[in-house]
Amino acid sequence: MRMVFRWFGEGNDTVTLEQIKQIPGVEGIVWALHDVPAGEEWPMDKIIEVKEKAEACSLNIEVVESVNVHEDIKLGLSTRDHYIENYKRTIEKLAQAGVKVICYNFMPVFDWIRTDLHKELEDGSTALFYEKNKIENINPEELVNEINKDSALTMPGWEPERLEYLTNLFKAYKDVDEEQLWNNLEYFLEKIIPIAEQHGIKMAIHPDDPPWSVFGLPRIITSQENLRRFLGLNESDSNCLTLCSGSLGANLQNNVPDMIREFSDRIAFAHIRNVRVYENGNFIETSHRAKDGSIDICEVVKAYHEMGFEGYCRPDHGRHLWGESCRPGYGLYDRALGIMYLWGIWDSLVKSRKESQSYDEFAIKS
């Protein structure tokens, strides 16, 4: 397991590279060029700038999250090939800089969605919260109005200047159902996976968060069955998964350890975090500790260990602790604590295996 830590760049993150390198076992950053709009080719000079800053702190840049997919590709419009060509050139440049994994998603319009950025937990910490009824009981027109009124709804990647396009996007997706979205995803994979193979890049799709339809928009990377279907679209070893326990685990019917055991050879990137799911469908992000949420994180790490996982891993989101002012979900303290919890589980499993092997060797000799 190769531990990495998400960093949003100087001026966009309260966490510094110097702080990240002090977290035990962290060998690299998970990064992106957040100022480059979806669909545009990434400039090589900006890629090299990140690489040099990271390497000055003895950190690698081998995982990118995300190279966002333009909406025209998801919609299957005639303009998609232009944006796919830009995506290919970005893959080539990232490979030249030493990148090994590119995380991306295929969620229409919105990335992950939450309704509260600072919901208080019992211990006084706060975390990202999802109120299911608030999302289910609002139609697209109401949504646009709510966001324009400075709504508390959290729509990552949708800055105020982009909201004017929401209405048109909802109209564009009106005739796009799940099957059409699958077709558009397969087309995208057919174009980019050969380039990824050529340059030694693993393209690792991220599950939908939450793993169900929102605002009437189709979502397809949501379950074990759908992950199986996705991997079957293109059998290349470069067509991989970012398996996020928190995203998939928001649906209690998803058995994350089973997914790890089934898809381990195609998991390039592991996001490990916990959520507490309530009976009414609401959920809140918690500490990584297994007892604090609905996901047995011990069993998740055990599954990775059993399968000999050697890919990249990050603690994903965290709570907001000790008055820390930070990007919602991305504070230093709880993610660092999460890493130490994950290493504690992992090291205990390594030690247990070594002791078992020593005992077996002793028994054979006896």
- Is 305 designated active site? no
- Mean pLDDT, rounded, for 239-261: 98
pLDDT at residue 294, as a whole number: 97
Which domains are assigned to the chain? 2-365 (3.20.20.150)
Catalytic residue among 70, 305, 317, 320: 317
pTM for this one? 0.93
Q: Among 316, 320, 334, 341, which one carries the catalytic annotation?
A: 316
**Over the stretch 199-240, which tens digit does the pLDDT of each residue have?**
999 999 999 999 999 988 999 999 999 999 999 999 999 999
Catalytic residue among 13, 103, 104, 206: 206
Is residue 151's pLDDT more than 70? no
Catalytic, 244? Answer yes
Which pLDDT band, with edges at 50, 70 and 90, does 162 fall under? low
Residue 137: the pLDDT is 81
Mean per-residue pLDDT of the chain: 92
Judge whether 302 and 346 are in contact, CB under 8 Å: no
Condensed to tens digits (0 to 9), the pLDDT of residues 73-95 reads 999 999 999 999 999 999 999 99
Q: Is the model more confident about 111 or about 225?
A: 225
Q: Is 109 helix (H, G, I), strand (E, B) or coil?
A: coil
Q: Which of 70, 83, 209, 244 is catalytic?
A: 244
288 belongs to the catalytic site? no
Cis peptide bond upstream of 37, omega within 30: no
Instruction: Please state, for a pLDDT cut of 90, what percent of the chain lies above it.
Output: 80
Q: What is the spatial distance between Cα 153 and Cα 7, in angstroms, rounded to a whole number?
A: 24
Q: How confident is the model at residue 362 (pLDDT cuts 50, 70, 90)?
A: very low
Q: What is the pLDDT of residue 164?
A: 65
Place of tokens 């009976």: 279
Catalytic residue among 72, 173, 208, 271: 271
Contacts of 342 (CB under 8 A, 6+ apart): 1, 3, 272, 288, 297, 301, 313, 315
* Per-residue pLDDT band at 41 (split at 50, 70, 90): very high
Residues forming beta bridges with residue 205, ordered by sequence position = 104, 241
φ and ψ at 252, to 5 degrees?
A: -65, -10
344-351 mean pLDDT: 96
Residue 360 has pLDDT above 90, yes or no: no
271 is catalytic: yes
* Active-site annotation holds for 330: yes
Q: Is 320 a catalytic residue?
A: no
Catalytic pick from 130, 312, 330, 341? 330
Q: Among 190-199, 252-261, 322-331, where is mean pLDDT lowest?
A: 322-331
Torsion of CA 326, 272, 252, 256, to 10 degrees: 160
Contact present, 23 and 334 (Cβ < 8 Å)? no
